[in-house]
A and B are shown apart, each in its own frame.
Chain A
Amino acid sequence: MHIAMHCTSRSLLAGAFRLAVQPHPSTLPPPFLLPAFTTIQRATFSSSPSPQARKDGNPNRGISPLRRKVTTRFAKRVKKDIANIPQPVLDPRLRSAVEVDEDHGLWEFFGQEKNSLATPVEISAHGRGWTVAELRRKDWDDLWRLWWVCLKDRNRLATFEAEKERIGNLYGEEESKKRRRELNVTLGGIKHVLTERWYAWENARYAAMEDPEVNLYADPDKGEQALIRPQEEKKVESIQDTLPPPPADEKLGSEVRA
């Protein structure tokens, strides 16, 4: 088959010459193709794959893996393991329970008791939100911590609400609304205080820009002073300088004593 499918120029040329003997002018190649037949093409062309590529010592080359004989060690092991493959448990009641870690982060979406729902009594066990006056006395770290505590509590409330809605026909929506209102009071208060601080800082910055005694662009690493004091005050630095000069007679006396 390999040889029969050869289609060299030589065979074409032979065919052309053979045809030329026969009196059928329509089967002759047109004259402008004649230069192509004069040159002899050495390389063969074939669409069938070269037999060289298959010489890799694999007798199963080309045979479907479903039908071929098990020869390799890996394939033998796979065949052995298939017999011991674990079967899926289709009945969910027979499945072994999944162990959840005690320190799993998703427990923070639930209360301390790790219940799927909080009762209305538990939800309404809270005080009022923080007032702005109380929050003003707190530093950034405290405010930030409080913000996240409120945020997580709000997530927890939303989780309980969704679960309650899923079960349906349960009281407790009003309690969680009230609690969320108090949380929002605290969150709003924190934003209020931080905005106040930002304005205070901004006003101070503007004041410093207009103050001739303050150099905002001073680099303390290079030893530059941010506060430039006027000349008169610069003299008054130590107590020694503030003391009046000693009287002349005392100076004389000291010399006498010496």
Chain B
Amino acid sequence: MALPFKVGKKELFLPNFIITFLRNQTLPANYARFEVPLWFSKLDLRDYLYHAYNVRIFSVTSYVKQQRARFGAPGGEENQTPMMRKWHRPRAKKFMTVQLERPFVWPEEPEDLTAWDKETVEAQRGHQEAERDKMMPTADTLVNEDRRKSMKEQARALLEGREKWEPRGREKNLTSMMARR
């Protein structure tokens, strides 16, 4: 069967790059989106998909996404060290959208995410964010609602005479010292 396009003539036996297939969230089923190396050309992707995956395509559109300036020293995500007054911009990412000959729909997202422990990760992240906020310069604006509530209950109990105030700990020592004097 004749190909609808011309295949490149340069033979590449041991390519060494990663192509990421991304979920198609908005486009119709005959479009597929990939993240490719920055040096990749449209013809590269077309020939790669045909030779490696036997996928035929009609057209390619490419898009280079500039990355945001990030805090810290340059380097990958693995050797990211927080450094004051140091900014870097990560390398841009390249995305290509191809028009497929045969449509493809991504499999559905798993409903039960316990295998990936989503709840634990969310709890951990929430705790980390709360701890981080306590370290921020605006920490004195934070209101501890639980503490406020418990203090209100204790005060009401004292006023109503349900509990009697007793000095404890350091206060107890202070009162005993005062009594001796």
Is B16's CB within 8 Å of the partner chain A? yes
Segment of B80-88, B103-111, B152-160 engaged in the interface with chain A: B103-111
Is B134's CB within 8 Å of the partner chain A? no
Closest Cβ of chain B: how far from A68's Cβ, in Å? 37
- Interface residues contributed by chain A, number (CB under 8 Å): 40
A-B contact count (CB 8 A): 95
Cβ–Cβ < 8 Å partners of B91 in chain A: none
Query: B113, A167: Cβ atoms under 8 Å?
Result: yes
Given A106-B32, A106-B55, A108-B53, do A119 and B115 touch, yes or no (CB 8 Å)?
yes
Interface string of B122-147 (1 = CB under 8 A from A): 10010000000000000000000000
Query: B121, A169: Cβ atoms under 8 Å?
Result: yes
Is B89's CB within 8 Å of the partner chain A? no
Interface string of A104-123 (1 = CB under 8 A from B): 11101110001111011100
Query: A158, B20: Cβ atoms under 8 Å?
Result: yes
Chain B's interface size range is 35 or more
Query: B110, A116: Cβ atoms under 8 Å?
Result: yes
Assembled-state Cα–Cα distance A108/B21 (Å): 10
Closest Cβ of chain B: how far from A224's Cβ, in Å? 30
Is A171's CB within 8 Å of the partner chain B? yes
Main SS of chain B's interface residues? loop
Closest Cβ of chain A: how far from B52's Cβ, in Å? 7
Query: B20, A169: Cβ atoms under 8 Å?
Result: no
Query: B107, A169: Cβ atoms under 8 Å?
Result: no
Closest Cβ of chain B: how far from A201's Cβ, in Å? 16
Query: A191, B14: Cβ atoms under 8 Å?
Result: yes
Query: A170, B116: Cβ atoms under 8 Å?
Result: yes
* Residue of A101, A170, A187, A194 with most partner-chain B CB within 10 A: A170
Is B171's CB within 8 Å of the partner chain A? no
> What are 6 A-B residue pairs whose CB atoms fall within 8 Å in the complex?
A106-B53, A117-B110, A117-B116, A144-B13, A147-B14, A191-B14
Beyond the given A101-B102, A194-B14, please list 10 additional residue pairs across the A-B interface where CB-CB is below 8 A.
A100-B103, A100-B105, A108-B53, A109-B53, A120-B116, A158-B18, A159-B22, A161-B20, A163-B22, A166-B23
What 3 A-B pairs come out closest when comparing CB atoms? Answer: A105-B53, A170-B116, A105-B55
**Which residues from chain A sit less than 8 Å from chain B, CB to CB?**
97-98, 100-101, 104-106, 108-110, 114-117, 119-121, 144, 147-148, 151-152, 154-155, 158-159, 161-164, 166-167, 169-172, 187, 190-191, 194
